[in-house]
């Protein structure tokens, strides 16, 4: 249900851009106004979300520890999975954000005859996740070529690495293919793993289809329709320089691509996609496990009603004296 809805939602988005540009000639709307609006929504939205989270304090230091604590000097501490210093935390977060450390740990548990539970390593989700995110990032970086004149030097390095397979012309970028495969895997596992299907919402399928649509239109443009790149760059540079203009001769598929990207950007801050920002703020990961070493302050700590020793002794004084336990008041 969620999958079908999301699929058609993306189809409708494609049609909107197709009709809007192809039939109704709303080039300026789809080429300029919507991209600007999406960019603004994205930026403000993310800032809004992060500020909102950051306004909730972290009253307690509750890192999830994944290895040996810092204790006696002769016991080897696991400094990355159980950091006690800021440097360790930076290391832990870097492993988490760049290499998906926690997901790398993933296991799969199966019930077998016996009954036996077998816990085996399971890296498929990690592999697909990391392939997806890294290729997405590289593709995004490659697109900087459209927003900078002249193209920065690192782009040439990136492109030659990405396209080292050199199949045909234009050069085949691997990241495009990897992105398609990874997203397809992430989608299929949602369909085929019963538990994952059970928990999946429309908002889980929608970004997958959206990204699939973006990747597909991108690939179509590059390898099959051969969109007028010069015209596209003219448009994107116009956007960057706040001097927007619509060049002639850009195929409608470009506008579909651009529209889907705009939707993704605008959708980003209001969806689960904000995990990109949220992961940095997760208190179970970004705190050092030095709770007993350094005092941590809870900003809203307030006095509570307690049962004092005096009250306790008043209640039990007789019994305490009888059994020879010292008391404050005779």
| C-beta closer to another protein: residue 43 or 68 | 68
Tell me if 24 contacts another protein by CB under 8 A.
Answer: no
Rounded Cα–Cα distance for residues 111 and 318 (Å):
58
Q: What CA–CA distances, in Å, run from 276 to 6, 98, 318?
A: 21, 11, 62
Closest listed residue to residue 125, CA positions, set 116, 115, 117, 133: 133
- Contact residue for another protein among 166, 169, 243, 307 (CB under 8 A): 307
Q: How far is the CB of 18 from another protein (least distance, A)?
A: 24
Tell me if 245 contacts another protein by CB under 8 A.
Answer: no
CB 127 within 8 A of CB 164: no
Tell me if 251 contacts another protein by CB under 8 A.
Answer: no
Q: How far is the CB of 43 from another protein (least distance, A)?
A: 18
CB 257 within 8 A of CB 74: no
Tell me if 296 contacts another protein by CB under 8 A.
Answer: yes
| C-beta closer to another protein: residue 248 or 308 | 308
| C-beta closer to another protein: residue 165 or 193 | 193
Task: Spell out, one character per residue from 264 to 283, where the chain touches another protein: x when CB under 8 A holds, - when not.
Answer: ------xxx-xx--xx-xxx
Using DSSP, state whether 168 is helix, strand or coil: coil
Q: How far is the CB of 30 from another protein (least distance, A)?
A: 24
Using DSSP, state whether 79 is helix, strand or coil: coil
Rounded Cα–Cα distance for residues 191 and 185 (Å):
10
Among positions 109-148, residues that touch another protein (CB under 8 A) are 109, 111, 115-117, 119-121, 125, 129
Closest listed residue to residue 259, CA positions, set 2, 8, 12: 12
Using DSSP, state whether 330 is helix, strand or coil: coil
Rounded Cα–Cα distance for residues 245 and 186 (Å):
38
Tell me if 243 contacts another protein by CB under 8 A.
Answer: no
CB 310 within 8 A of CB 83: no
Among positions 34-93, residues that touch another protein (CB under 8 A) are 49, 52-62, 64-72, 74-76, 78, 81-82, 84
Tell me if 4 contacts another protein by CB under 8 A.
Answer: no
Task: Give me the sign of the Cα torsion angle 239, 243, 244, 248.
Answer: negative
- Contact residue for another protein among 95, 103, 148, 177 (CB under 8 A): 103
| C-beta closer to another protein: residue 21 or 263 | 263
Q: How far is the CB of 204 from another protein (least distance, A)?
A: 5
Q: How far is the CB of 264 from another protein (least distance, A)?
A: 15
Rg (CA), the chain: 28
């Amino acid at each position: 249900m969620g999958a079908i809805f999301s699929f058609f939602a993306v189809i409708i988005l494609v049609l909107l851009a197709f009709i809007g540009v192809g039939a109704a000639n709303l080039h300026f709307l789809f080429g300029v106004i919507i991209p600007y609006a999406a960019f603004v929504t994205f930026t403000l939205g993310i800032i809004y979300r992060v500020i909102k989270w950051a306004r909730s304090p972290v009253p307690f230091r509750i890192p999830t520890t994944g290895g040996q604590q810092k204790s006696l000097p002769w016991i080897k501490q696991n400094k990355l999975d159980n950091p006690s210093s800021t440097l360790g935390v930076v290391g832990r977060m870097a492993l988490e954000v760049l290499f998906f450390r926690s997901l790398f740990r993933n296991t799969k548990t199966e019930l077998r005859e016996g009954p036996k539970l077998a816990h085996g390593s399971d890296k498929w989700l990690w592999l697909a996740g990391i392939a997806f995110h890294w290729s997405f990032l590289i593709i995004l970086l490659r697109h900087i070529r459209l927003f900078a004149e002249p193209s920065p030097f690192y782009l040439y390095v990136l492109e030659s690495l990405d396209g080292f397979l050199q199949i045909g012309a234009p050069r085949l970028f691997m990241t495009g293919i990897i992105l398609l495969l990874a997203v397809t895997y992430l989608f299929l596992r949602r369909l085929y793993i019963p538990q994952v299907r059970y928990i999946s919402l429309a908002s889980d399928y929608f970004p997958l289809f959206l990204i699939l649509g973006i990747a597909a239109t991108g690939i179509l443009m590059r390898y099959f329709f051969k969109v007028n790149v010069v015209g596209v760059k003219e448009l994107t540079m116009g956007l960057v320089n706040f001097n927007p203009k619509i060049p002639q001769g850009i195929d409608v598929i470009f506008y579909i691509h651009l529209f889907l990207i705009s939707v993704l950007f605008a959708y980003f801050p209001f969806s689960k996609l904000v995990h990109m920002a949220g992961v940095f703020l997760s208190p179970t990961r970004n705190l050092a496990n030095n709770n007993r070493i350094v005092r941590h302050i809870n900003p809203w700590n307030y006095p509570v009603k307690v049962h004092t020793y005096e009250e306790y002794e008043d209640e039990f004084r007789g019994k305490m004296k009888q059994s020879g336990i010292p008391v404050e008041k005779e």
